[in-house]
Amino acid sequence: MFKALAELLVPSCCAGCDTPGDALCGDCKTSMSGLRVIHRSEDMPPVYALGRYTGVARRAVIAYKERGRRELAATFGGLLTDALRKLPPADLVPVPSRPRAVRARGFEHMALVAAHTTAAVRPVLRLDRRVRDSVGLDADQRAGNLAGRLTCVPTRAKVILIDDVVTTGATATACCSALTRAGAVVLAVVALTAT
């Protein structure tokens, strides 16, 4: 409560570079305004990212996820809306967070970003409680961590999967497989940032 009040009283600053003003300044927004192809292969939809997971973009994503800068959901949602104009129209499926992370954070961070886009949102993926934090895990370990713990509600929609950071691609691959098995047509994966 106190923190929420303090945030109302203290002037806002850029989550990327601390410049007083908007939640993300113009320069920092520019670093997350692309739509770069990260990965393209036969067995998976193309993976894109708006920016690199480094510098101010990395700082902004961490501020949103771990430092309570929830207002960045609107900023990221706007950036994502702009980027998605370059892709065919589709509903957005946010990559789900671990239930424990959602409780700690107080919100589903990618679902909240999706809610701030102009696209329809289909939160059809679910992670169960046994999934561990994937920080420090390699691609095989990440795939093992998700195996059998990621479920999808049946849907025939055309969808774009959205995530905050694409690292090894293991999470995106597992989510695309679950969506495809459930009947969805996955057109692309779009991440805010990629390593």
Closer to Zn ion by Cβ: residue 25 or 80:
25
Closer to Zn ion by Cβ: residue 21 or 89:
21
Nearest distance from C-beta of residue 155 to Zn ion, angstroms: 38
Please provide the DSSP assignment of 156-194 as one string: --EEEEEEEEESSSHHHHHHHHHHHHTT-EEEEEEEEEE
Nearest distance from C-beta of residue 190 to Zn ion, angstroms: 22
Measured between alpha carbons, how far is 12 from 70 in angstroms, rounded to an integer?
12
Q: Which of 89, 95, 99 is nearest to 152 (CA)?
A: 95
Closer to Zn ion by Cβ: residue 28 or 170:
28
Closer to Zn ion by Cβ: residue 63 or 90:
63
Q: From its phi and psi, is residue 176 left (phi > 0), alpha (psi between -120 and 50) or beta? A: alpha
Measured between alpha carbons, how far is 56 from 16 in angstroms, rounded to an integer?
4
Instruction: Write out the H or E segment, with its range, that includes residue 108.
Output: none
Nearest distance from C-beta of residue 33 to Zn ion, angstroms: 13
Closer to Zn ion by Cβ: residue 16 or 77:
16
Measured between alpha carbons, how far is 24 from 32 in angstroms, rounded to an integer?
10
Nearest distance from C-beta of residue 75 to Zn ion, angstroms: 11
Which residues of the chain form contacts with Zn ion (CB under 5 A)? 14, 16-17, 19, 25, 28
Measured between alpha carbons, how far is 112 from 124 in angstroms, rounded to an integer?
14
Nearest distance from C-beta of residue 113 to Zn ion, angstroms: 18
